[in-house]
Amino acid sequence: MNKPNSDLPRESPFFESEVNCWRVEKAKKFAVIIDGADYFLNLRKVIADCQHQLLLIGWDFDFEIEMLPGESDDDGLAPDGLPNQMGAFLEAVIELKPQLQMYLLKWNGAVVVAPGRLLPSVALSVFGSDRIHFALDGHHPFGACHHQKIVVADDSFAFCGGIDATENRWDTSEHLPDDPRRVCKDGSPAKPWHDVTSAMTGAAASALSDLSRKRWERATGEQLERPPVPDRPIWPEGLDTCGRNLEIAIARTEPPYGDRRLVNEIENLFLDSIKSAKDVIYIESQYFTAKSICDALSARLEEKCGPEVIVINPKAAQSDFENDAMHVLRNRMIEKLQSVDHQDRFRIYYPVNAAQEPIYVHAKIMIVDQTVIHLGSSNINDRSMGFDTECNVALKGENDLISHTRSRLLAEHLGVGIDHFDQTLKRHASLIATIDELNSETERGLRSIKKRPENLRGKILAKTRMMDQRYTPREVSTAGKGMRPRHVALIGTAVAIGLLGWQAWKWRRGNPRQ
């Protein structure tokens, strides 16, 4: 019997701890959840099943939203018999679970972005149960944000993805025109919204629990104990399991802060994945501005018979300022990729619903061939590569989950059945040709993103990358010094109080007592 030759070179592992990932752990069960309606439904089930420790780590929370829009009875209860409003739901669950401790950690800059959401958060923490703990996380460089979206229940179940438990994230995969359930809190219509997250159990969920407790400790100084093992496994009834016993890589972005250096595992894993591609690189992202990713994609498009590159983005940002700050940079990315695309293998689209309304893309996902999938909180922008705090999960291998997820996403965007999409793809053996055939000009579909006009503000913001900055691996942050986001919030509050006082003084001078 021949023995293996130990002198032969061995294939290096794709995932390397502390290089392109933090840890690789096994998920007993794993699922991909597409769009907010399914996420909020399953989020409620998981929270209601949690017995000991619930960790909610987010960019933002809004405790006034209805988690299941349009499903409240006259008493404000959802079909499960618990309050539909998120804050009241959490309070009801904590009252039913005498051993449960809830920890909610939110980026402190969200107070500046959406100050109206702070009061309900403080009220929940101060006037609610003493087992609901709320904190603002300001442990980051000025201008950066904590962008992770993680929920962990009892150290054994976790969500990790791109969906925040906040306003305007709810929508169905149909993205129906004029859906009466898709409304803002003030009653105005909300735009169609596309998003993705993941669910998992086992050691991978426990690792995300470790990461969340470390983040809580970093923000508050409080060490949280690992909770007891739950009496029974947590998995929401009705959530289809996409895969079992999968090796899941957890990758991070963390900016340098104090004595900590930059962690850019997500960027490294993206670059390794792009380099490994043979046929197709498929990306969904809110932004498309990361220079390192653009350079890597350019190199692949320059090759003879390299992979197709398909990007799904929003048509426009959520404000004119954001359009100038981010989509002028996107223009430059598109121009560069088109200039090297000598075999017509690059496409960038935005999705529309049946009424031709643009669907806002908030999902953060990359699928390479049918062998690698990344999803999490990280956009394809410089901030997510080396400035904001991010968390992605990824898996690699010949796995039906990966190909099926890509088919689910594109079938949704094109408004066709998954089987029909797969049959068309099999016939063409090209994702671009498949999209071209199935794309409707009058129904749901994908539309090409055109270059936006550039004004002076946009050119300045693009040149300076003021809103899309990053650290490089060699840089050290001076973040512990100088003005912090909380200082900005305090100064803003002081200015507002001063203005109110000045207005009151002017009014009294103009209206003396008779």
3-state percent helix, strand, coil for the chain, nearest multiple of 5: 35, 25, 40
Residue of 287, 280, 303 lying closest to 372 (CA atoms): 280
Structure confidence at residue 461 (pLDDT): 93
Greatest extent of the chain over all pairs of C-alpha atoms, in Å = 111
DSSP 177-213: TT-TT-B-TTSPBPPPEE-EEEEEEEHHHHHHHHHHH
Structure confidence at residue 442 (pLDDT): 87
Structure confidence at residue 489 (pLDDT): 47
Structure confidence at residue 8 (pLDDT): 44
Q: Do residues 251 and 392 touch, judged by C-beta distance below 8 A?
A: yes
* Alpha-carbon span 203 to 25, nearest angstrom: 6
Q: Do residues 113 and 106 touch, judged by C-beta distance below 8 A?
A: no
Burial (CB count within 10 angstroms: exposed 0-12, middle 13-18, buried 19+), residue 298 = middle
Burial (CB count within 10 angstroms: exposed 0-12, middle 13-18, buried 19+), residue 275 = exposed
Phi, then psi, of 474 in degrees rounded to 5: -90, -15
DSSP 303-364: STT--EEEEE--SS-SSHHHIIIIIHHHHHHHHHHHHH-TTS-EEEEEEE-TT-PBPEE---
Q: Please name the residue that has the structure tokens 């003396």.
A: 512
The fold for domain 247-464 equals Endonuclease; Chain A (3.30.870)
Same fold, 23-244 and 247-464: yes
| The dihedral formed by the CA atoms of 327, 331, 333 and 338, expressed in degrees to the nearest 10 | 150
Strand partners, 288: 380
Structure confidence at residue 483 (pLDDT): 39
Q: Domain locations in the chain?
A: 23-244, 247-464
* Alpha-carbon span 287 to 316, nearest angstrom: 10
Residue of 317, 426, 319 lying closest to 361 (CA atoms): 317
- Using DSSP bridges, classify how beta strands 53-58 and 150-153 pair: parallel, antiparallel or unpaired: antiparallel
Compute how many other C-beta atoms are within 10 angstroms of the C-beta atom of residue 278: 12
Residue of 375, 33, 25, 391 lying closest to 202 (CA atoms): 25
3-state helix/strand/coil string of 59-124 = CCECCCCECCCCCCCCCCECCCCCECEHHHHHHHHHHHCCCCEEEEEEECCHHHHCHHHHHHHHHH
Tell me the one-letter amino acid at 454: E
Token readout for 513 is 């007592």
The fold for domain 23-244 equals Endonuclease; Chain A (3.30.870)
pTM of the predicted protein model: 0.89
Structure confidence at residue 507 (pLDDT): 53
Mean pLDDT by 10 residues, the chain (514 residues): 46 89 98 98 98 96 94 97 97 96 89 55 62 91 93 98 96 97 92 98 98 96 94 94 96 92 97 98 98 98 97 95 94 97 98 97 97 98 97 92 97 97 97 97 94 90 93 71 42 50 55 49
3-class DSSP assignment, residue 402 = helix
